[in-house]
A and B are shown apart, each in its own frame.
Chain A
Amino acid sequence: DAGVIQSPRHEVTEMGQEVTLRCKPISGHDYLFWYRQTMMRGLELLIYFNNNVPIDDSGMPEDRFSAKMPNASFSTLKIQPSEPRDSAVYFCASSVLQGNYGYTFGSGTRLTVV
């Protein structure tokens, strides 16, 4: 397996634009997590899915953020409209048993909003 695949690796966009981040989890993993990492706040859980169903989105900072998982092999995190304070590294991770055996993380998307 190629691991958790995220795209793009880097994204630079202007304030107000829509941004879509993509994630392909490991085949067979039934949990998918979206995290945001910043120097100020460290790793923050934004939302997670179980069997493609959103379970907890309490970490999504605002209505500008939305996430979907249309099938077991694909998820998106969308920010619309984007703001400079959304600049961060966004990680996708997948696991079995809600992470009781650990997560496999993707390489992340570094988002810069100017």
Chain B
Amino acid sequence: AQSVTQLDSQVPVFEEAPVELRCNYSSSVSVYLFWYVQYPNQGLQLLLKYLSGSTLVKGINGFEAEFNKSQTSFHLRKPSVHISDTAEYFCAVTGGFKTIFGAGTRLFVKA
């Protein structure tokens, strides 16, 4: 069985500050890891994915995430956020042909 825990339900941050959204997972099989972003009144959009290889993956809009197998984490980072990054972010884990989504982290960027 798999599980995904997003450690923060809300993250307020000032514009141009760095941000980290945390995601931990558990699984008994090898996994693929994803981050999605959901803007208000829209569907989820794939930000980035880790399938294999380099543990640092880069995605759209300047986001990146690092896969840490020993800590079973896949934290999302951005060095400098913009107002337009205000959205909900979901971590997802696919393993054994099953995908589990986290509960989401609401990122609120303040001017």
Contact = CB atoms under 8 A, between A and B. Distances in A.
A105 interface: yes
B99 interface: yes
Given A43-B90, A98-B97, A102-B34, A107 B42 contact: yes
A58 to B, nearest CB: 11
Contacts of A25: none
Specify the main secondary structure of chain A where it touches its partner.
Answer: mixed
Contacts of A4: 43
A104 B94 CA distance: 14
B101 A105 contact: no
Interface residues of B, number: 18
Interface residues of A, number: 18
A103 B103 contact: no
A61 interface: no
A30 to B, nearest CB: 13
B94 A107 contact: no
B32 interface: yes
B103 A42 contact: yes
A71 interface: no
Contacts of A43: 90, 101
A60 to B, nearest CB: 16
A104 B103 CA distance: 19
Contacts of B34: 102
A10 B89 CA distance: 23
Contacts of A102: 34, 36, 46, 49
A101 B42 contact: no
Given A100-B94, A101-B49, A102-B49, A91 B103 contact: no
Interface of B: 32, 34, 36, 41-46, 49, 51, 90, 94, 97, 99, 101, 103-104
The 4 tightest CB contacts between A and B, nearest first, are A105-B43, A105-B44, A102-B46, A43-B101
